[in-house]
Amino acid sequence: MYSTTTGTHPGIELRHSPVGGETPRSEVPEQIQSAVFEIEQFGVSYAGTPAIADISLRIPAGEITALIGPSGCGKSTLLRSLNRMNDLIAVATHTGTIRYRGLDLHAADVDPAEVRRRIGMVFQKPNPFAQSIYDNVAFGPRLHGRSKGLDDVVERALRRAALWDEVKDKLREPGHAISGGQQQRLCIARAIAMEPDVILMDEPCSALDPIATLKIEDLMRQLREDYSIVIVTHNMQQAARVSDRTAFLTVDMEAADGQRCGRLVEFERTEKLFTQASDERTEAYITGRFG
Amino acid sequence: MTSAPPGRASALQATGAGRYADPLFKWAAITAGVSVLAVLGLMIGSTTADAWPVFQYQGFVDFFVNDEWRAGFSRTDFTGEYGAFSFIFGTLVVALIAIVLALPLALAVSLYITRLAPRRMKGPLAYTVELLAAVPSVVYGLWGLLYFVPTFLRPVMELLSAALAPVPLLGTFFAGPVYSTNYLAAGTVLAIMILPIITAISREVIAQVPPEQVQAAYGLGATDWEVMRKIILRRSFPGVVGATMLGLGRALGETIAVAMLIGGSQRWGLSLFFGGDAMAAHIANTFQDAAPETVQALIAIGVGLFIITVIVNVLARLLVWRIGRVAGDAAL
Amino acid sequence: MSSLPVTTLAPPRPASEVSSSLRAADPHSRRRRRRSRVMRTVLLAGMIAAMIPLALILIEVGRRGANAFGWSFLTQTEPPFRREGGGYLQGLVGTFYMVTFATAMSVPLGIMAAVYLVEYGRGWLARVIRFFTDVMTGVPSVFVGLFVYALLIRDIGFGTFVGALALSVIMLPIVVRSSEEMLKLVPEDQRAASAALGARRWQTIVKVVLPTARPGLVTGAMLAVARAAGETAPLLLTALGALSVVTAVQGTPQSALTLLIYDGATQPFAPGQQRAWAGALLLLGIVFVFTAVARFVSSRSTVRPD
């Protein structure tokens, strides 16, 4: 599946330079100083069948955290739990807790809409609204009652998403009339326009070509300055290239109850996980022997 | 705007009046949905309440089997005689004529469009046939009454009557005299009116026959016609029956065009050239001159018609539903 | 008939025994081919036969309708049947009045019911509503007229409002069904994108789902309007008909194009019949324009049924 062989991984370039100039990374500390999410004993079931179980994890603020693992390991389910998008699935139930900046996300008086306002999301397939580029970006601010200075908000968000120069002359054109990579950056701009605290990305490049993918990855590294980012990817090179820390999940089939269910195997600084994984399942997955 | 301090996330609780809007909106939507049921319920309730005294006065069974209809003129009680058999008979005969004429044509059209027509012509042909459904029924009535029947149909009917009336037994159905308005005239125009609905649904049903089966039949050396008859028509039979029943439902309920073409005599006859009346047509033809007691009797006819069409429609829907809901047939 | 080269080792059989051509040789399959050709012709003939009525209607309505049609037809009310001239002004006004009224009542309600079916409806209630909506599309339109009569007219009389009410009952299931199909075509990821931006359910519906489906919703509404404009039977029982322009909302019998056509066609005087043809031309024009524009709108839609 991947070009790497065993042991060390010459195929995976860990810290490649962004295409357009250096963005020096700050040192990633061993210990997580401040966590944006504290996940404890968390599990999700769909209609009684567990999808993920027993996951405990502290996702650091101001970093990029990647969730990787074979398909069916529940990494998307975990991601969608972080902004309560799973609520939209009627049969989904959860156990355990997720604290977002110290607040229980699932507390009775928490408003999911309020949660999603602070925790933005970018989806696997670019999904701009069937509206103009401008209206796409202005959607969130308008939703929350903003009507003045929208031009500035839209421009700032599009600039931040490295899309402004490409679309500034066609802001009134429909959001689906641009290329797939541009659409995905539009979706990122749409999320940024909300001034969120965290951005969740669910395999944001899986529908894009390699060049568009590189652009999004560059963009992620730039956004890291301002936002905490959690990204789900099935592309390990991508995880290695962009993330500061990586969580590896797998499908656990030897669970006591005999059901297939996603579990966390290992959570480490990306560099360490990809060079000296402590669990052999991680090792097997990232070297392409499994998955 | 570097990573936000924890304090920024201080409240995830809903703020503002916005949080009440969601349940309100949901209830508005549910109310709208239920109102459709309410309208139907009200429709059945209010008409049945009006028809009930008529059924009691005439006798429920007698209302349907007696062929004596004599309108009364009372404002307060019932004085006339209300046996609706002539109209029920007329409705059934006219609808039957329409189906017999329309079904083969509809099948030919749907087979031609789906199997034989050049690719570029499929859309325009289908669209043209469906345009027939957009013509208002009063225009059919006008066209039939003042042009089609006198110009084309009446000579044909006279010919048929002259040729077949002397034949024993069969002659009963072709007995003259032939006037312009009669069962056959109404049935023929009605056939044109229900052609698009039967065609539209048959076409969708036929298009759903798996192409592998068609390929397989061709692979075995079947001719075009053999493929159509043995594979396509056989596979789509239930759907075509459903389509026909939807057409039948439409034919039973059609009012104005039939009212203009059927004759309006309040009696019934076995001849195709008999000028009778149908349930819906009789309501339209006599409503404006009806005294209160007769209006109630007309409502009772309406209830009978409603029961018949609902049964036919429900059966049709059940048949068509097996192959999925047919998009857009509501517009026909 | 050219024969194929025979390369078998055995001595060639007489030509009469082996099929030596790829054309159908034996009588049985020749008969099958011939029957297939005949049936293809029969189907083509059926196709053509089905086109004839439409052509005859368009030609006759166009030809005869043009005689009495003109500016005065749209600006004058109808004189007695025996007299020439005049027009269907009161019918035009009545139809416009009642259809507008009916649209205002049925379209918002119908779209909202469709929102329920697509966005909220999961269980038995949605199934029941869906089924009875289908049943309602099959209810004879004259029965709807009887219903409005039985419900209201003995109390509040004939008029514009009761006529419009009957038309709206006819339009309602059409709007619900077509809107439901259109809302179902809005991709799920649009709803997810909206929710992820912190939109509440109603905001997602109002700001994303309905705008995305707008062309389809407009199409459905316009087809329902075309249908209502062509209805006669329910109006006969509710609007009743009028000889002059009626502006009263309720209490005074109202006219309609279809009612005037019906009256004109069924009486024996030529001038009245001529006006009926002209009225048919006008009505057909209105209905076809609405149908064509509806199709045009839906063909420009971003989401559409394929």
Q: What does the pLDDT look like over A173-206, one tens digit per residue?
A: 999 999 999 999 999 999 999 999 999 999 999 8
User: Would the pLDDT of A12 be above 50?
Assistant: no
Say if C273 is an interface residue toward chain B (CB within 8 Å).
yes
What is residue A89's predicted lDDT score, i.e. its pLDDT?
Answer: 87
Rounded average pLDDT over C213-219: 93
Asked if residue C203 is part of any domain, the answer here is yes
Q: Which of residues 93-122 of A touch C (CB under 8 A)?
A: 113-117, 120-121
Neighbours of chain B (3+ CB pairs under 8 A): A, C
CB contact under 8 A, B12 and A107: yes
Q: Which of A92, A78, A83, A82 is nearest to A112 (CA)?
A: A83
Name the percent of chain C lying above pLDDT 70.
90
Per-residue pLDDT for A11 more than 70?
no
Q: ipTM value of the model?
A: 0.91
A-chain residues within 8 Å CB-CB of B14?
A: 109, 111, 113-114
User: What is the model's pLDDT at position C5?
Assistant: 47
Residue B75 clears pLDDT 80, i.e. is over it: yes
**In the predicted model, what is the mean pLDDT of chain B?**
89
Dump pLDDT digits (tens) for C41-63: 999 999 999 999 999 999 999 99
Q: Please report, for residues A134, B186, B299, C126, the alpha-carbon distance to residue A174 in angstroms, rounded to integers and kept in the order given.
A: 9, 52, 54, 34
B123-148 pLDDT, tens digit per residue, is 899 989 989 999 999 999 999 999 99
DSSP B82: E
Mutate to test the interface with A, among C197, C203, C209, C214 (most CBs of A within 10 A): C197
Chain C nearest CA to A131, separation (Å): 8
For B181-199, what is the mean pLDDT? 96
Q: What top-level class would CATH report for the domain A35-286? A: alpha beta
The CB density around residue C124, as the number of other CB atoms within 10 Å, is 8
**Mean pLDDT of the region B160-187:** 92
Q: pLDDT category, C27, cuts 50, 70, 90?
A: confident
Kindly identify which residue of chain B lies nearest to residue A37, measuring between CA atoms: B6
Average pLDDT over residues C157-171: 97
3-state SS of C90-101 is: HHHHHHHHHHHH
Output the pLDDT for position B15.
67
User: For A77-115, what is each residue's pLDDT tens digit?
Assistant: 999 999 999 988 889 999 999 999 999 999 988 989 999
Q: Please determine, for residue C232, whether its predicted confidence score (pLDDT) is greater than 50.
A: yes
Share of chain B above pLDDT 90, in %: 72
Tell me which chain B residues have a C-beta less than 8 angstroms from the C-beta of A228: 3
Which chain C residues contact residue B18 at CB under 8 A? 200
Is residue C8 domain-resident?
Answer: no
pLDDT range class, residue A290, cuts 50, 70, 90: low
Confidence band, pLDDT 50/70/90 cuts, at residue B318: confident
Alpha-carbon gap: B129 to the closest alpha carbon of chain C (Å): 7
Give residue C123's pLDDT. Answer: 87
Is residue C206's pLDDT more than 60?
yes
Identify the weakest region by mean pLDDT among B317-331, C45-59, C158-172, C181-195: B317-331
Q: Which domains does chain B have, with CATH numbers?
A: 82-331 (1.10.3720.10)
Chain A residues in contact with B1 by the CB 8 A cut-off are 195, 226
Residue range B297-309, pLDDT digits in tens: 999 999 999 999 9
DSSP-assigned letters across all residues of C226-267: HHHHT--HHHHHHTB--SS----SSSS-B--HHHHHHHHHHS
Summarised one tens digit per residue, pLDDT across range A205-248 is 988 999 999 999 999 999 999 999 999 998 888 999 999 999 99
State the amino acid at position A222 in one-letter form. Q
Query: What confidence tier does A22 reach under pLDDT thresholds 50, 70, 90?
Result: very low
Minimal Cβ distance to A101: which of B1, B6, B19: B6
Indicate the average pLDDT of chain C.
90
Domains of chain C: total: 1
With a cut of 90, say whether residue B21 has pLDDT above it: no
In a domain, C293, yes or no: yes
pLDDT at B165 over 60: yes
CATH code of the domain containing C85: 1.10.3720.10
Residue A10 reports pLDDT greater than 60: no
The pLDDT-based confidence of B10 (bands split at 50, 70, 90) is low
The residue ranges of every structural domain in chain A are: 35-286
Is the Cβ–Cβ distance between A216 and A154 less than 8 Å?
A: no
- Put simply, the answer to whether B2 touches A226 (Cβ < 8 Å) is yes
- Put simply, the answer to whether B14 touches A118 (Cβ < 8 Å) is no
pLDDT in tens, A117-176: 999 999 999 999 999 999 999 999 999 888 899 999 999 999 999 999 999 999 999 999
Split at pLDDT 50, 70, 90, the class of C16 is: low
Contacting residues of B for A62, CB less than 8 Å apart: 2-3
Predicted confidence at residue B259, as pLDDT, reads: 96
C115 touching B (Cβ < 8 Å): yes
